[in-house]
Amino acid sequence: MTQVLFKNRRPGETVFLDGYRKTGGYEGLQKAVKAMSPDEVREAVKESGLRGRGGAGFPTGVKWTFFPADQFGEKYLVCNADEKEPGTYKDRELLLADPHQLVEGMIVSAYALRIPVGYIFIRYGYERCSQNLERAIAEACEAGFLGDNILGSEFSFELHVHRSAGRYICGEETALLNALEGLRANPRSKPPFPAVRGLFGMPTTVNNVETLANVQHIIVNGPEWFRGLAATETGAGTKLYGLSGHLERTPCLELPIGTTLREIVEEHGGGVWKGRTFKACLPGGASTPYLAAKHLDTPLDFEPIEKAGSRLGTGGVTVFDDTTCMVAATLNLNTFFARESCGWCTPCRDGLPFVSWLLEKIERGEGTMEDIEILRGQIRNIHGRSFCALATGAMEPVASLLDLFMDEVVDHIKRGRCPLKR
């Protein structure tokens, strides 16, 4: 099984410059700077089919076409390492194992977009990751891979680590930019988009850790090689899947994008724990709709999973066994989102606490059939109507609860208690 991002991963170890270079580290940078133009690098990333690995899944090369790469002057590349989606921890594992992959990926990306300054925006709780990155940046500077006139070229790039306050809203790119400027982490109105007016009012592109770490591998091996790594015709590359929940094993592992949910659960996760059966999962972090047992053969790739009614998201697969109360699980998720709201817009600020109140009422056994219709109305009122995607994402598990587990919701109401509690 091809390992691209995790090829240098060893239990309890971090690979720094010497070890990274022994396995081909910085060959992508040298090829890009010495043998390719910025336009050619951008085109290679576009042809590769690389899609954002931070949750939205937007094609990276297409996103870069919106950026004024041919415009010289003050511009910024920002890496979103503020990983706070429940069930998602794959970027942390990458930075603990091999921080130079992100550093090189950012340098190559900055070369492609003619960007002079970059920031890695990382949550405060990832202190060891931050230290690893700072050491990797220092090593890259000393080796001539960062700084002025990189590898004797006219390209210069400086890179900084910024420790954030760690709020979930900082995962929204414009809230992240506000936080990076020292402002309150509220999302900004769009347009203008960050590619036009981003950090400090200048053109900015924001990409995820895993996304950027793939760039140099595409340059070294080519777009066709990258597309060929996938297990599906619609996919491209590998994917870091972080397992959690009711499994015998909960590793973070690199697999071909499009690996089926069944293979991930039964083979790599060792099956559902304690001899129990699979009931549901969140396939891509806490803001993705549930998949049920009937979806176990779904390939975890962007298009197939959308056809199944969910999203790939971050690839954080959280499994629930047959003893799980799905009303309680959904309440727990929505309570998190309500707490993490920045309070900027009414659907999020007021709507999410009301949804939590309704779910709590049903979970206590005090709900009515009318509450289900009120809940459906709240989903319609909130989904797609919030200022950013936080509240919309929060509604996805709620909507799928009513789609997939309505019998369980009704059972709470008819019995006047949670049927799974003794």
Beta bridge partners of 193: none
Q: What's the rounded Cα separation, in Å, for the pair 237 and 218?
A: 9
144 and 55 in a common domain: yes
Q: What's the rounded Cα separation, in Å, for the pair 69 and 404?
A: 46
Q: Is residue 260 part of a domain?
A: yes
Q: Is residue 104 part of a domain?
A: yes
Which of 202, 228, 254 lies at the terminal end of a domain, its last residue? 228
- Answer yes or no: are the C-beta atoms of 365 and 418 closer than 8 Å: yes
Which of 321, 349, 382 lies at the terminal end of a domain, its last residue? 321
CA dihedral 179, 68, 30, 227 (to 10 degrees): 90
302 and 157 in a common domain: no
379 and 258 in a common domain: no
**pLDDT score, position 421:** 78
158 and 32 in a common domain: yes
195 and 49 in a common domain: yes
Q: What's the rounded Cα separation, in Å, for the pair 268 and 255?
A: 10
Residue-wise pLDDT for 197-235, tens only, equals 999 999 999 999 999 999 999 999 999 999 999 999 999
384 and 304 in a common domain: no
Q: Is residue 347 part of a domain?
A: yes
212 and 80 in a common domain: yes
Q: What's the rounded Cα separation, in Å, for the pair 297 and 318?
A: 16
- Answer yes or no: are the C-beta atoms of 173 and 193 closer than 8 Å: no
For residue 161, give every residue at least 6 positions away whose Cβ sits within 8 Å of its Cβ, in sequence order, or none.
119, 120, 122, 130, 133, 134, 137
Phi/psi at 64 (nearest 5 deg)?
-70, -25
**Which CATH number goes with the domain that contains 257?**
3.10.20.600
Residue 338 CA: distances (Å) to CA of 168, 288, 349: 11, 16, 7
Regarding pTM above 0.75, the answer is yes
- Answer yes or no: are the C-beta atoms of 231 and 259 closer than 8 Å: yes
Pairing of strands 278-282, 291-292: antiparallel
170 and 41 in a common domain: yes
174 and 156 in a common domain: yes
**Which CATH number goes with the domain that contains 104?**
3.40.50.11540
- Answer yes or no: are the C-beta atoms of 150 and 157 closer than 8 Å: yes
Residue 329 amino acid letter: A
Residue-wise pLDDT for 111-148, tens only, equals 999 999 999 999 999 999 999 999 999 999 999 999 99
Which of 180, 205, 228 lies at the terminal end of a domain, its last residue? 228
Q: Is residue 411 part of a domain?
A: yes
223 and 245 in a common domain: no
Q: Is residue 137 part of a domain?
A: yes
Closest CA to 119 of 101, 131, 100, 133: 133
> Domain range holding 242?
238-321
The verdict on whether omega for the bond into residue 191 sits within 30 degrees of 0, i.e. cis, is: yes
**pLDDT score, position 422:** 64
Residue 155 CA: distances (Å) to CA of 136, 144, 279: 19, 11, 53
**Which CATH number goes with the domain that contains 355?**
1.20.1440.230
Give pLDDT < 70 ranges for the chain: 422
- Whose tokens are 């008819």? That residue is 414
Q: Is residue 265 part of a domain?
A: yes
256 and 215 in a common domain: no
Render the burial of 370-401: b for 16+ CB within 10 Å, e for the rest: ebbeebeebbebbbeebbbebbbbbbbbbbbb
Q: How many domains, in total, are found in the chain?
A: 3
Q: Is residue 9 part of a domain?
A: no
248 and 212 in a common domain: no
Q: Is residue 384 part of a domain?
A: yes
